[in-house]
Amino acid sequence: MDPQLLSYYEAIERASVDMLTAARAGNWDEVVKLEGACVLLISQLKHAAQGPDDAGPSRGAPAPQAVEVAKVKSRIMQRILVNDAEIRHLAEPWLQDLDDTLSGRRAHSLH
C-alpha cells in the first residue's frame, strides 16, 4: 500500500473522532454532516487506491516499510471501528426517539 494513502485513513479517523465528540454532546446535525464528510473521504480513498500504482499483490516478502504501513493502517482502522461502535451506542436512544416521533406522526395522520 502506498504510504500516502495513510493520509486518507488518518483523515477518516479524525472525522470519526469529531463525530464521536459531536455524538457525546448530542449534536446530531454535526454527526450527520461529518458522516457525509467520511463518505466523501472513503470514496476518495477507494479512487486513490485503484490508481496506476496499485499493481496488485507483489511476489516475495513485503518490504519492512510496507509491513509498518500495514500495522499503522490496522491500528487506525481499529480506532475508527471503536469510535463507530460508541457513536452507534450513543445514537440508539436518539434513533428510538426519532422512530417514536415518526410513528406518532403516522398514527395521527391515519386518523
Which domains, and CATH codes, for the chain? 3-54+62-110 (1.20.58.380)
Q: What pLDDT digit, counting tens, does each position of 45-70 carry?
A: 999 888 765 445 555 667 888 788 88
User: Nearest-CA neighbor of 53 among 88, 19, 2?
Assistant: 2
Distance CA 72, CA 85 (A): 20
Sequence-distant (6+) residues with CB within 8 A of 2 are 48, 49, 51, 53, 54
pLDDT for 58 equals 56
pLDDT for 52 equals 63
Q: Which residue has the higher pLDDT, 2 or 92?
A: 92
